[in-house]
Amino acid sequence: MTKARYTPHDMLARLIAFDTTSRDGNIPLIEFVEDYLEDWGIKSLRVDYEAGKKTNLYATIGPDMAGGIVLSGHTDVVPVDGQPWSSDPFQMVEKDGKFYGRGACDMKGFLATALALVPEFKAASLKTPIHLALSCDEEVGCIGVRPLVAYMKKHLPRPKAVIVGEPTLMKVVNAHKGAHTFATEVLGHEAHSSCTHLGVNAILVAGELLSEIGRIAADMRERGDPSGRFNPPYTSVHVGLIEGGTAKNIIPRRCAFKWETRLLPGSDPDEVPARFDRFARSLEPAMKRIAADTGITTDCTNKVPGLRPQPDSPAEHLALHLAEANGTEAVSYCTEAGLFQEIGIPSIICGPGSIEQAHKADEFIAISEMAKCEAFMRRLIRHCVN
């Protein structure tokens, strides 16, 4: 039987054709990759996030030992709902030196290049293993990869470096912010709108909390970013969603809002929520004097760790060498790299395409970026045979 061979171009078309919108899962794509790897005699392992629907895949090419290089990417994509695409987002189109399709740059271009080179990885006598780590549910808060990260920590030989192929135009990125998200609920006390003295207006209490968030945000902005690498140059705080109330003439019993902070790496993750919480506690006595069952609760709904720069790490050295770059950059978006770093594996971000095209209608990757990524992977092979 002949083994299937793909150019990075063909492989990208194949991967884009799987609609892997986060909410719908990624099993058909993973099955395709499993079969392809098996054809080439490479065993892979699944670590489920949601059994039967969303899974992560880990495969090793070369010796089964510690010290390998992980090529890591998420397989899920953001929805195309409501976006004005010029062509079918799940049918790759080549035009003007670009490949168009959902996930072209974020981040099937990187995965397609790595997968297309698997036969070359396999044919080389690798002394250092190359691992593939394909994840799910990254676009909804870097949550899907977590069981894989936990599994790697517990059961697998520790790799030397993780290269996360998010789109950086093949620049080497060694730092990004973390993101912590919160859901706050204010429970007040209902009354007729004429009887303001008998009710606790949950919307007005929420308003005070929002003002405090505004003050915290202003203070963080004032404090700035000592590293001078981030845009915006401070830890930011943001409120994204609010709901509350029933009718104009009812004092609202409930108001809830969702907010987040994007932290400079290395900053104290508890500072912002602790200050918010102190302020919330200070509002409660007046609420409880009117009705005992009133109060304010805040839950942390997700924590994505930032990526701390590790300037002398093997990941950074290697990526600079493979990308033929002489400096590193920082980005403001989150990736899975901080999660790998958290379990002690030096991690770096470097991948083809631009984040500018990610998540938009007519997402594309320049063919020249795919070529740069291919050259990067070929240098990786040379690195791993020595």
Write out the residues near Zn ion by the rule CB under 5 A: 106-107, 166
| Residue whose C-alpha is closest to residue 355's, from 227, 165, 228 | 165
Q: How near is the Cβ of 109 to Zn ion at its closest, in Å?
A: 11
Residue type present at position 20: T
Sign of the CA dihedral running 20, 301, 142, 30: negative
| Residue whose C-alpha is closest to residue 230's, from 309, 161, 300 | 309
Cβ proximity to Zn ion, 279 vs 333, nearer residue:
333
Q: Which one is catalytic: 34, 76, 139, 336? A: 76
Q: How near is the Cβ of 107 to Zn ion at its closest, in Å?
A: 5
Cβ proximity to Zn ion, 107 vs 237, nearer residue:
107
Contacts of 385 by beta carbon, 8 Å cutoff, 6+ apart: 124, 125, 126, 127
Q: How near is the Cβ of 360 to Zn ion at its closest, in Å?
A: 13
Cβ proximity to Zn ion, 133 vs 191, nearer residue:
133
Instruction: Report DSSP letters for 144-187, one per residue.
Output: TTHHHHHHHHHHSPPPSEEEE---STT-EEEEE-EEEEEEEEEE
Adjacent-strand bridge partners of 302: 181
Q: How near is the Cβ of 284 to Zn ion at its closest, in Å?
A: 40
Cβ proximity to Zn ion, 78 vs 205, nearer residue:
78
Q: Which one is catalytic: 34, 106, 137, 138? A: 138
| Residue whose C-alpha is closest to residue 167's, from 362, 325, 356 | 356
Q: How near is the Cβ of 336 to Zn ion at its closest, in Å?
A: 9
Q: How near is the Cβ of 34 to Zn ion at its closest, in Å?
A: 22
Contact criterion met (CB below 8 Å) for 79 and 71: no
Distance between CA atoms of residues 267 and 177, nearest Å: 10
- 344 burial (CB, 10 Å; 0-12 / 13-18 / 19+) is exposed
- 193 burial (CB, 10 Å; 0-12 / 13-18 / 19+) is middle
Which residue is closest to Zn ion by CB?
106
Cβ proximity to Zn ion, 12 vs 107, nearer residue:
107
Cβ proximity to Zn ion, 358 vs 377, nearer residue:
358
50 catalytically annotated: no
SS3 for 272?
A: helix
260 catalytically annotated: no
Contact criterion met (CB below 8 Å) for 162 and 337: yes
| Residue whose C-alpha is closest to residue 200's, from 292, 328, 80, 315 | 292
Q: How near is the Cβ of 182 to Zn ion at its closest, in Å?
A: 23
Cβ proximity to Zn ion, 34 vs 166, nearer residue:
166
Q: How near is the Cβ of 207 to Zn ion at its closest, in Å?
A: 35
Cβ proximity to Zn ion, 106 vs 363, nearer residue:
106
| Residue whose C-alpha is closest to residue 61's, from 386, 362, 385 | 385
Contact criterion met (CB below 8 Å) for 289 and 200: no
**Angle of CA points 339, 341, 344, to nearest 5°:** 120
| Residue whose C-alpha is closest to residue 147's, from 336, 346, 307, 351 | 336
Residues with catalytic annotation? 76, 138
